């Protein structure tokens, strides 16, 4: 069934971004996998090329276009070349962090931060998760206690994507530790603030080119001018308001990653022979691949509909949770069955399907686990 999500402008943008990916990411991806991090220059190059901050107003160096379809194109192209890990930082910067700056910055903050976000000179991250609390954000213990014109921030965060490279970290804190949800606020911590330390670049199962770090805060003095929103206590509502786009971004990328894995496998089974016959000609192979192709197409049309709903301001938390839950679970099923069709070679890390398998496992966890997504959906049913 033909897709109708994209228009000519999006396809022209795809052409440009595909060339960027082939020139600036693909040749270096193995090197970055070994290093465990992409160079900061990747963000600056992407910024100079017009691939960061597409919705940032032109006066601040952005594209001035609010249209998530451009983000979707980038996610598809990054997944389509097997650069899930290297591209995750760019997606986080555009899809997940930028909306907070666009929605909650005042005029002074916009002038201070948006030009650097658009140019790639200021790399962004968001710090919610703490050791031991998982998705239970209301139980966080990182505090920001007001002292005159500053907050004094103490605590720790973990599993922070862009944790090493980031310059601006949207940090969930308790400005009123006596409260749960109502005590949460978002403040922006900046590179170089005294007492703001980065721990080790975490050694992960997959997504090796993506820097994921622990962050610690010891009496970090953060200007009150770095509070996002008009007043304290809005943090939980701000997070809830932006989670649908975050979860759609993850689900959308999961579909693109599944399609990439399917493409690798189709190519392989047409060439690989067993008993003198291409393994793709066996009935089992045809049935498996037919099932995967069908499921991917169905998921694609759902996330395309979600993109339209997002741009229309109509994407609900439940629908975004369905996209995230179903599509990341689908991604896991697809890469697992594709590895099986590769046989022993699928277990070898020199084959891209093995990397896709390892990279896929986290998507059912970050951005809210599958179990949390089901809880959101279940509550939307009045249960």
Q: Could you write out the DSSP letters of every residue in 162-222? A: TTTT-SEEEEEEESSTT-SGGGEEEEEEETT-TTEEEEEE---SS-TTS-EEEEEEEEEEE
Query: What whole-number distance in Å separates Cα of residue 150 and Cα of residue 295?
Result: 52
| β-bridge partners, 278 | 273
Query: What whole-number distance in Å separates Cα of residue 65 and Cα of residue 55?
Result: 5
Pairing, β 168-174 against β 124-127:
parallel
Please, what is the end-to-end C-alpha distance for the chain in angstroms? 35
Note whether 78 and 84 are within 8 A (CB): yes
Q: Which of 123, 118, 140 is nearest to 131 (CA)?
A: 140
Reduce the DSSP state of residue 230 to 3 states and report it.
coil
Is position 7 annotated as part of the catalytic site?
no
Q: Is 166 left (phi over 0), alpha (psi -120 to 50) or beta?
A: beta
The structure tokens 């006066």 sit at 59
Note whether 249 and 96 are within 8 A (CB): yes
Looking from the CA of 168 toward its CB, the CA atoms found within 13 Å total 26
Three state DSSP letters for 277-299: EEHHHCHHHHHHHHHHHHHHHHH
**What residue spans of the chain are helical by DSSP H?**
8-24, 29-35, 41-48, 68-80, 84-91, 98-104, 107-119, 235-271, 283-311, 317-342, 352-360, 370-380
Pick the catalytic residue from 246, 271, 314, 375. Answer: 246
Cα 163 to chain centroid, rounded: 13
Residues with catalytic function: 246
């Amino acid at each position: 069934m033909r897709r109708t999500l994209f228009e000519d402008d999006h396809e022209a943008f795809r052409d440009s971004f595909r060339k960027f990916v082939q020139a600036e990411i693909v040749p270096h991806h193995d090197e970055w996998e070994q290093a465990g991090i992409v160079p900061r220059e990747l963000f600056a190059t992407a910024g100079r090329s017009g691939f960061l901050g597409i919705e940032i107003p032109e006066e601040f160096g952005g594209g001035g276009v609010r249209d998530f379809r451009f983000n979707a194109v980038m996610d598809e192209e990054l997944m389509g070349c097997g650069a899930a890990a290297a591209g995750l930082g760019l997606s986080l910067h555009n899809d997940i962090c930028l909306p907070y700056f666009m929605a909650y910055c005042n005029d002074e903050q916009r002038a201070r931060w948006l030009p650097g976000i658009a140019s790639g000179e200021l790399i962004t991250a968001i710090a919610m998760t703490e050791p031991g609390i998982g998705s239970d954000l209301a139980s966080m213990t990182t505090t920001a206690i007001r002292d005159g014109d500053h907050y004094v921030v103490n605590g720790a965060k973990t599993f922070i994507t862009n944790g090493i490279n980031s310059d601006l970290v949207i940090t969930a804190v308790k400005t009123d530790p006596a409260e749960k949800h109502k005590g949460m606020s978002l403040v922006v911590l900046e590179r170089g603030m005294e007492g703001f330390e980065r721990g080790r670049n975490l050694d992960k199962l997959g997504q090796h080119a993506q820097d994921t770090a622990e962050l610690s805060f010891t009496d970090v003095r953060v200007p009150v001018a770095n509070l996002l929103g008009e007043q304290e206590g809005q943090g939980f509502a701000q997070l809830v308001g932006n989670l649908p786009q975050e979860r759609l971004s993850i689900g959308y990328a999961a579909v693109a990653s599944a399609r990439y894995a399917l493409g690798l496998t189709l190519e392989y089974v047409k060439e690989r022979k067993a008993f003198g016959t291409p393994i793709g000609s066996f009935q089992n192979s045809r049935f498996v691949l037919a099932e995967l192709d069908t499921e991917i197409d169905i998921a694609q049309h759902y996330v395309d509909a979600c993109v339209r709903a997002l741009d229309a301001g109509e994407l609900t938390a439940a629908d975004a949770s369905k996209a995230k839950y179903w599509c990341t679970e689908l991604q896991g099923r697809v890469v697992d069955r594709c590895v099986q069709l590769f046989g022993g070679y699928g277990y070898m890390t020199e084959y891209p399907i093995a990397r896709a398998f390892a990279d896929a496992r986290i998507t059912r966890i970050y951005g809210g686990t599958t179990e949390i997504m089901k809880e959101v959906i279940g509550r939307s049913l009045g249960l």
